[in-house]
Structure 1
Amino acid sequence: MGRLDALATRRFDLLVVGGGIVGTAIARDAVLRHLSVALVEQEDLAWGTTSRSSRLIHGGLRYLAHGDFRLVRQDLHEREVLLRTAPHLVHPLPFLVPLYRPRSRWWLGMGLTVYDMLAFDRSLPGKRWLSRQEALQIEPALRPQGLEGAFLYYDAQAPYMERLCLENAIACAQGGGVVLTRCRAIALRVHRGQVLGVEVEDRLTGERGQVEARVVVNALGPWAEGWLGEALPRPRRPLLRLSKGVHLLLPSLTRHALVLFSPQDGRLFFVLPLEGCSLVGTTDTPFAGDPASATAEPGDVAYLREGASLAVPGIQDAPLYTTYAGVRALAFTPTRRESDVGRRHRLLDHRREGAKGLLTVLGGKATAARAIAREVVDTACGLLGWEAESRTARTLFPGAPRGEWKAWLPFQEAFLHQQANLPPTNARHLARLYGERSAEIALLVAREPSLAEPLCPHHPDILAQVRYAVQQEWALTPGDFLLRRTLIGLSPCRGLDALDKVVSEMGRALGWSPAEAQCQREGYLQEIALWNTPRV
């Protein structure tokens, strides 16, 4: 039985092309409205921009400066929805905004006051001012010279943004949807102006087939315009403006997340905690070419190091563990700078171009993925003649605990220890990473105790997670597991200390020959080579 058989057995109401955070959110919303759904992704879930973001769930302070209050309000509401429906993956995060002369305390204070006002339904504390002494006491890494004080405010972080995307896909599959990775949509099928579906290719076997669907959604992010150009006559004007965002991963240097401003162009960027490291980013520069080829250049690294070191001197000479670069798909506007381009999304209905039933999503932020998905599925339901309201604002993600998060977490840790004799560190890590689904990992260990073996000395991840990722989470390569089911690949060892065990366990689960296992090992080395550490 071929992998494409699951797509060929029926006509779907909705086919989503693209398995990033927006595409999977669309699939989740649609199955919750009882539509039949399929999703195809040419690489892995969250392989593109989703896995190369700042990992924040936030309203966006910088958008206040552009006067886009509606966008900020929407995203602050979405922050609350995610804190409630995915508390195992989205956590409150305190930020410091240190003020050095001559930046205006009044101007920033007013902006944060408006931010709080727009978050009128917030569950997080409001902003407050810290004196110079108070700021240095809670964040001693700050440069004391010229420091006037700092604002403290709260937003949220999804350190495992990839797993937020993954749980969207899991929800789709649990609702009867079909999710297929390494499957490329190669041609749109249209008859007399009505979309019939797409032709797809299994990138693992080369097999081709047809997927029948009444509505097709192009959610390919930075690849959306290119795919559209092949499916339809090329648009007369540009649809997307691509922008590269670079992040640096350094040793842990601060106790808090920081909001800083570049001395070169005044642009806002962050220093963020991430799994015992500091994530510094991001840049916002024009990009042309294949988004898969985006990498950090020496100038990107220098821009972030120099800007951040003005507030945190230790950043300038700190070891650089790795970098990653993602490409944002911004709905086209003819402004001069990428940082001035709005982050609002745009939804295109292609019926006037002779393709009724084809929708394209342009732009948008990860924070707004659920709201974008609601609009897309509302439109799809209109095309299908189906009446059903979105349920995603009140439906928990598959791993979300049914009770209060802080009370549930120690209970689950104790359960995992009792069920599988897992040490507290491992039990806590699994509970935070998988939520309620961590019980399924514990069951694997209880049945086969050898699966409790650590993958490497400096990570709490265990062998059972590899088995589970293959069986339940569409992991097909070492990179899928090390970079997008866990963050082992972003650690100082780049995942190399765990690679042999991961390849061995995946090989057993997927039936790899020794030659195939070696090919997979080499493929991972090539993948992390793009996440380079350029010399400056």
Structure 2
Amino acid sequence: MIFDRDIFITRIEEQANWDIIIIGGGATGLGTAVDAASRGYKTLLLEQSDFAKGTSSRSTKLVHGGVRYLAQGDVALVYEALHERGLLLKNAPHLVKDQEFIIPCYSWFSKIKYLIGLKLYDLLAGKSGFKGSSLLSADKVLSAIPGLKRGSLMGGVSYSDGQFDDARLALNLAQTASEYDGVLLNYMKVTGLTKNNGEVDGLSAVDMESGKGYQLQAKVIVNATGVFVDDILKMDTPASRPIVRPSQGAHIVLDQSFLRGDSALMIPKTSDGRVLFAVPWHGKVLVGTTDTPLDEHSLEPRPLENEIEFILETAGNYLAKKPARADVLSAFAGLRPLAAPQKNTNSTKEISRSHKLIVSQSGLITIIGGKWTTYRKMAMDVVDQAIALGKLKKEKCVTADVKIHGYMPEMQTGSLALYGSDAAGVKELMESEFGLDARVHPEYGYVKAEVVWMVRNEMARTVEDVISRRMRLLFLDARAALKMVPAVAAIMAGELGQDDQWIDAQIGTFTSLVKQYLLLSDGDEIGHYSEKTNLTET
């Protein structure tokens, strides 16, 4: 596998013409790259930041059909998502696992109601590799979730859904596309579209690292930029009206002592109409999510105070150990790119969760909506649409059977589990290069070899790329993430040929970023780790 930014840069300098260029390196864009490349098309993907920098690294980490959508009567959407859930478990078992969820019930009516609904969920899922639903006594619920308040608990309903690591799957999709000769570039910003007789036939882009500009041609241009689709559409038609209405989902991360056990908690209806999940994830507890309509978008959205208060209050109604602001290890938000309604509304319930394809008069293909679970189906629809427009020679979609990079027959255990089959390469680095088996944090198991691997084989370009999306520590424990910055920056500088000025800039930038993941009060200090040494060696 060739997954090297310098080599990919050389490729676009030598090859200006492509079958398909995809703008956007989130779930949908990366899925489209895998689909197109695996059909044999000359495929290029451009991402303005890092892969999955936006919404695709900020999900609730669930591969699911959507119990909420079933309750709303959207059976078709749930059926499609459950089918895709099964394919993800089959093709990426190193990242996707069967996770038990428990709905606590406080009346006999709720037990029967939820059991009936979840039996329909099981029926729609068919033989997908996930366990079916069942009734639980109050004692069994408390045994599975020791951190739950007993109160008037009368039992619960258990069901299974998928859990995964979103940013790691995104990276593996990029690597999979490259295995089919796709070219994928992070930190490559599209600055304009080019046309021939009114038809989009290419684009201009600039390398955010070197500042060099590129003119690239393609038979098909796909706009898969999530909440940024309107920015690309305005390059095509400056007067176009917005087609996306962002909805923000916020999450908090707590110590595992708040939940205990391996089962996840699902509250089916909160005061804002969403479900609330408390899910074990990488040794912590992920709690969320909210549903807040917004009128603006950004690469680094921040949870609103009322979202944090809502999550803490709602979780506190069910957990024996009531969480407070001081208990939050990290707080983050993601923006869902929902199709904008035709009328003014502040209710995201009225905005479609299904994905939508839009073909502009110029031939630009735009994809909006959807969710992580259905990324493969969305990608297939995009490429099929390009074929239907006569822009690509007809080739059959094969992604239902494509094993995603890192594939192992089942999820592994240990600190290198998320690497799947790549764990062997990381271990080889630890053994072959002196000192790379040393930790980069005194309390977490990450080692220097992982940083080296991420630079050499995963296109990590900044400290944030490593700590946030490849290691995930910024999302798990923001203060701890800050402590490993000097060591990570020093290792990366050596690998990338950077100097002390680069190291200082990386430390400063990441320190500022960490503040957005902490619930700081006025006067709070997070510390500033400026020394350029491995903290575990001092």
TM-score, normalised via structure 2 length:
0.91
Aligned to 2:151: 145
Query: Which aligned pairs between 1:212-291 and structure 2 lie closer than 5 A?
Result: 212-236=217-241, 238-252=242-256, 253-254=258-259, 255=261, 256-261=263-268, 263-291=270-298
2: distance between equivalents of 1:133 and 1:286? 39
1: distance between equivalents of 2:127 and 2:365? 32
Q: 1:276–1:193: structure 2 CA closer, same or farther, 3 Å change rule? A: same
Among residues 193, 200, 204, which one is paired with 2:205 in the alignment? 200
Question: Does residue 1:174 correspond to 2:179, yes or no?
Answer: yes
SS at match of 2:307: helix
CA deviation after TM superposition for structure 1 residue 143, in Å: 1.2
Q: Give the residue type in structure 2 aligned to 1:518.
A: D
Q: Give the residue type in structure 2 aligned to 1:466.
A: V
CA deviation after TM superposition for structure 1 residue 144, in Å: 0.9
Q: Give the residue type in structure 2 aligned to 1:119.
A: A
Aligned to 2:215: 210
Aligned to 2:529: none
CA RMSD, 1 decimal: 1.9
2: distance between equivalents of 1:147 and 1:489? 35
Q: 1:285–1:167: structure 2 CA closer, same or farther, 3 Å change rule? A: same
Aligned to 2:473: 488
1: distance between equivalents of 2:480 and 2:46? 28
Aligned to 2:161: 155
SS at match of 2:308: helix
Q: 1:123-144 deviations in whole A, cap 9, x for unaligned?
A: 1111000111221222221111
2: distance between equivalents of 1:187 and 1:2? 24
Aligned residues: 508
CA deviation after TM superposition for structure 1 residue 154, in Å: 0.3
Moved more, 256-265 or 205-214: 256-265
Q: 1:256-301 deviations in whole A, cap 9, x for unaligned?
A: 2111145523421100111111111000011122322521122111
2: distance between equivalents of 1:455 and 1:399? 24
SS at match of 2:335: strand
CA deviation after TM superposition for structure 1 residue 336, in Å: 4.7
Q: Is the 8 A contact 2:440 2:488 kept in 1?
A: yes
2: distance between equivalents of 1:3 and 1:126? 45
Among residues 452, 456, 461, which one is paired with 2:437 in the alignment? 452
SS at match of 1:78: helix
Question: Does residue 1:186 correspond to 2:191, yes or no?
Answer: yes
SS at match of 1:405: coil
Aligned to 1:38: 44
Q: Is the 8 A contact 1:8 1:212 kept in 2?
A: no
1: distance between equivalents of 2:26 and 2:64? 18
**Structure 1 segments unaligned to the other structure (5+ residues):** 411-427
Among residues 353, 369, 372, which one is paired with 1:343 in the alignment? 353
Aligned to 2:327: 319
Q: Give the residue type in structure 2 aligned to 1:532.
A: L
2: distance between equivalents of 1:267 and 1:171? 34
CA deviation after TM superposition for structure 1 residue 214, in Å: 1.0
Among residues 127, 137, 140, which one is paired with 2:133 in the alignment? 127
Q: Is the 8 A contact 2:53 2:299 kept in 1?
A: no
Moved more, 133-142 or 62-71: 133-142
2: distance between equivalents of 1:293 and 1:103? 43
Q: Is the 8 A contact 2:19 2:392 kept in 1?
A: no
Q: 1:198–1:103: structure 2 CA closer, same or farther, 3 Å change rule? A: farther
Q: 1:34–1:315: structure 2 CA closer, same or farther, 3 Å change rule? A: farther
Q: Is the 8 A contact 2:332 2:475 kept in 1?
A: no
CA deviation after TM superposition for structure 1 residue 397, in Å: 0.8
Q: Is the 8 A contact 2:297 2:335 kept in 1?
A: no
Question: Does residue 1:19 correspond to 2:8, yes or no?
Answer: no
Q: Give the residue type in structure 1 aligned to 2:507.
A: R
Aligned to 1:416: none
Aligned to 1:502: 488
Q: Give the residue type in structure 1 aligned to 2:198.
A: G
CA deviation after TM superposition for structure 1 residue 164, in Å: 0.4
Moved more, 389-398 or 136-145: 136-145
CA deviation after TM superposition for structure 1 residue 193, in Å: 2.2
1: distance between equivalents of 2:292 and 2:203? 34
Q: Is the 8 A contact 1:94 1:257 kept in 2?
A: yes
Moved more, 2-11 or 47-56: 2-11
SS at match of 1:451: coil
2: distance between equivalents of 1:62 and 1:336? 19
Aligned to 2:516: 530
2: distance between equivalents of 1:116 and 1:226? 40
1: distance between equivalents of 2:177 and 2:128? 28
Aligned to 1:332: 340
1: distance between equivalents of 2:128 and 2:182? 33
Aligned to 1:361: 367
2: distance between equivalents of 1:336 and 1:505? 47
SS at match of 1:449: coil
CA deviation after TM superposition for structure 1 residue 109, in Å: 1.9
2: distance between equivalents of 1:17 and 1:265? 34
Q: Give the residue type in structure 1 aligned to 2:275.
A: L
In the TM superposition, structure 1's runs of 4+ consecutive aligned residues that sit over 6 Å from their partners are: none
**Structure 2 segments unaligned to the other structure (5+ residues):** 1-5, 523-538
Aligned to 2:93: 87
Q: Give the residue type in structure 1 aligned to 2:231.
A: G
SS at match of 2:327: coil
2: distance between equivalents of 1:102 and 1:331? 38
Q: Is the 8 A contact 1:298 1:534 kept in 2?
A: no
2: distance between equivalents of 1:46 and 1:279? 19
1: distance between equivalents of 2:352 and 2:480? 34
Query: Which aligned pairs between 1:5-16 and structure 2 lie closer than 5 A?
Result: 5-10=10-15, 11-16=17-22
Q: Is the 8 A contact 1:262 1:307 kept in 2?
A: no
CA deviation after TM superposition for structure 1 residue 52, in Å: 1.0
CA deviation after TM superposition for structure 1 residue 5, in Å: 4.2
Aligned to 2:404: 397
Q: Is the 8 A contact 1:482 1:495 kept in 2?
A: yes
Aligned to 2:124: 118
SS at match of 2:436: helix
